[in-house]
Amino acid sequence: MVAIDQPMTGGKISLAHGGGGQLTDELISQCILPRLGNNILSDLLDSAIFPPLAAGEKPTLTIDSYVVQPLFFPGGDIGRLCVSGTVNDLAVCGARPLGIALSLILTEGLPKNTLEKVMDSIAATATEAGVKIVTGDTKVVGHAQGDGVYITTAGIGAISDYKLHPDLVEPGDAIIVSGNVADHGMAVMLARQMPQMQSSITSDVAPLNHMIAGLLKSTSGVVFLRDPTRGGLAGVCADLANRTGRHITLEEDSIPIDPRTRHVADMLGSDPLDVANEGKVVAVVRPGAVKAALAALHGDRHGLNARVIGHVDETGEGVCELHTTLGGRRILLKAYGEQLPRIC
């Protein structure tokens, strides 16, 4: 479907760019390939073909979509987010990322310059993670149907025999978080809801596969990993307690939160435990493996502030409770609704 009567608004994406015809070729060859080019992608076959896996490895597959607004926020953008998110989903299952399939849905009228910046970011983050974008697709939709850029990424990884699963979680296991929580969600919320604020908070968005590989290499005592994205730390821990049927206790005083983030969260009525993270991992670790795990995390620039924040209890029903600063307890549940500025 090449819409011949669509004028090429120079510098802007038009419906014709998604039509599969010459303008699409032009978009790929000008905007996309130069930034992402690698031996698999450049073949431009309809499917990406991978070399065989190593003996004993199994393939894993994950998929996510990214619709973040605004597209660019302090510390990152939708491009960095989509690569990091998919790489991290593979990594927390113990997989090494092999390749990413990238699907772009662009809105008619999107400045080409914006697309180029997003592609630059995708390229840089992929390089950082050591992963290739191996295949992709681009579509363009009308103005009324979109907000600029929607991205879907599917990731393929190779998993060895390191077993990570909630069923392995046992009483006595330690809960570790790899660093400060709530930075990403607060940074994005401020960028969207309070553009008049000059925020000192930056998103933590980052690919964590190297850090996680180092962690899994340092000890065999890691039994479960999860990245606390939407729903935050509370969401992951509540889910884990629910899934395993175990009682989990988190220590409020141990949870690392940057004072800059906490101050703004207090101002707007957000609970940092409910806020999304895109560069953190929660690890459940056997008690004897905690020292090695922390050392491994501290040795990576994304894990400098890793802490033990809680443990799996011997008894109790399958909920996560916070042992508060005051010395009391409250149940952690997944939050309802978005974080928005409140008066009360």
Partner 1 sequence: MNDSIQRLHAAAARLVRPVKFMEVCGTHTMSAFRSGLHSLMPANVTLLSGPGCPVCVTSQGDIDQLIDVARKPGVILCTYGDMIRVVGSAGSLEQARADGADVRVLYSSLDAVKLAAENPSRQVVFAAVGFETTTPASAAAVLHADKLFLSNFTILTSHKMVMPAMRALLSADDLQVDGFLCPGHVAVILGAAAFDPIASEYHKPCVIAGFEGAQIATALARLTEMMADGICRLENFYSQAVTEKGNVAAQELVARIFRPDASYWRGLALLPDSGLVLREQYRRYDARLRFQLGQPINREISGCLCGDVITGRATPADCRLFGSACTPARAIGPCMVSSEGTCQAWFKYKRVANRPSPSPRPSPGVPGEGEKFSAAAERNA
Partner 2 sequence: MCLAVPARLVECRDDSAVADLHGNRVNISTMLLPTAKIGDWVLLHAGFAIQLISEQEAQETFGVISDLRAASGGAP
Helix (H/G/I), strand (E/B), else coil: 47: coil
Tell me: does residue 282 bind partner 2 (CB under 8 A): no
With contact defined as beta carbons under 8 Å apart, do 242 and 318 qualify? yes
Shortest Å distance, C-beta 179 to partner 2: 7
Instruction: Determine which residue in the list 36, 278, 285, 290 makes contact with partner 1, applying CB under 8 A.
Output: 278
Closest CA to 85 of 232, 279, 276, 242: 279
Crossing angle of helices 112-129 and 78-91, in 10° steps, is: 30
Tell me: does residue 243 bind partner 1 (CB under 8 A): yes
Q: Which stretch binds partner 1 (CB under 8 A): 126-134, 172-180, 263-271, 291-299?
A: 263-271
Tokens of 281: 């991992």
- Which CB atom, from 268 or from 295, has the smaller least distance to partner 1? 268
Shortest Å distance, C-beta 291 to partner 2: 13
Instruction: Determine which residue in the list 84, 107, 114, 199 makes contact with partner 2, applying CB under 8 A.
Output: 199
Tokens of 301: 């620039």
Residues 6 or more apart in contact with residue 336 via CB below 8 angstroms: none
Tell me: does residue 255 bind partner 2 (CB under 8 A): yes
For residue 175, count other CB atoms closer than 10 A to its CB: 26
Residues 148-187 vs partner 2: string with x where CB under 8 A? Answer: -------------------------------xx-------
For residues 188 and 168, what is the distance between their CA atoms, to the nearest angstrom? 35
Residue type, 302: H
Instruction: Determine which residue in the list 59, 254, 317, 331 makes contact with partner 2, applying CB under 8 A.
Output: 254
Query: Which 259-278 positions form the footprint of partner 2 (CB under 8 A)?
Result: 259-260, 262-264, 266-269
Residues 6 or more apart in contact with residue 249 via CB below 8 angstroms: 310, 311, 313, 320, 321, 322, 323
Tell me: does residue 183 bind partner 1 (CB under 8 A): no
Tell me: does residue 329 bind partner 1 (CB under 8 A): yes
Look up tokens 């990245």; give the residue. Answer: 227
Shortest Å distance, C-beta 213 to partner 1: 18
Residue type, 239: D
For residues 92 and 103, what is the distance between their CA atoms, to the nearest angstrom? 23
Tokens of 43: 């073949």
Instruction: Determine which residue in the list 305, 318, 323, 333 makes contact with partner 2, applying CB under 8 A.
Output: 305
Tell me: does residue 337 bind partner 2 (CB under 8 A): no
> How many angstroms from the chain centroid is the CA of residue 338?
18
Tell me: does residue 298 bind partner 2 (CB under 8 A): yes
Which helix (H) or strand (E) element contains residue 226? strand 222-226
Tokens of 52: 């065989």
Shortest Å distance, C-beta 20 to partner 1: 27
Distances in Å between the Cα of 138 and the Cα atoms of 15, 19, 23 are 11, 9, 11
Residues 213-242 vs partner 1: string with x where CB under 8 A? Answer: -------------x--xxx---x---x--x
Shortest Å distance, C-beta 319 to partner 2: 22
Instruction: Determine which residue in the list 75, 185, 272, 310 makes contact with partner 1, applying CB under 8 A.
Output: 185
Residues 53-92 vs partner 1: string with x where CB under 8 A? Answer: -------x-xxxxxxx------------x---x---x---
For residues 124 and 322, what is the distance between their CA atoms, to the nearest angstrom? 38
Report the interface residues with partner 1, using CB under 8 A. 60, 62-68, 81, 85, 89, 93, 163, 165-168, 184-185, 188, 193-194, 196, 203, 226, 229-231, 235, 239, 242-245, 268-269, 271, 276, 278, 317-319, 322-331, 333, 336-337, 340-344
